[in-house]
Amino acid sequence: MAKLYFNYSAMNAGKSAILLQAAYNYRERGMNVLLLRPTTDHRGPTGEITSRIGLSAPADMIPPDKNVKSHILDQHRDAPLACVFVDEAQFLTEEQVWQLAEIADEERIPVLCYGIRTDFAGELFPGSAALLAMADSLREIRTICWCGSKATMTARIGEDGEIVSEGEQVQVGGNESYVSLCRKHWKNRELRG
């Protein structure tokens, strides 16, 4: 039976690199896969999933109002899919997560989602909340805080180099905008000891 998977972490844990490696493994064995990325994530080239370590692969861009199930079924009709991969899954809508679950349940195509669990304020993203509720399999991808402890939180860094505590939930940025911290240092707003 195919499953809906959610692989989550704080920022900079290597989620995109792991996704790209898994997709490569499928392709190396002659299997067709589909890579998706929400348009909310506008870092890097449009139409690609890229990792910090330089890996990249073409991906279909998915806006928030797109019916993901219909898109996947259209691709599946053209060339049967062995697996669907979704990067930056925190930016999916709840409805899109339900559609991905239907792909796994009805079409028996595994769907592997990768994303951040919580935002800079410690709140769940809508896509992450839906995936945590619905996914058949949850896997934490670990990264570390500056102190060496497991990082479970993501802090947003302001222009002044300090941790920001207010603002819009979605502000797309990379290493210059976010840092992964353990809960203790996130709560105490400590970037370094």
Q: Catalytic positions, please? A: 88
Residue 123 is which amino acid?
E
Q: Which residue bears the tokens 């064995």?
A: 29
Q: What are residue 182's DSSP bridge partners?
A: none
Residues 6+ apart with CB under 8 A from 126: 90, 92, 93, 94
Tokens (6 digits) for 92: 């999916």
Nearest to 180 by CA among 149, 153, 159: 153
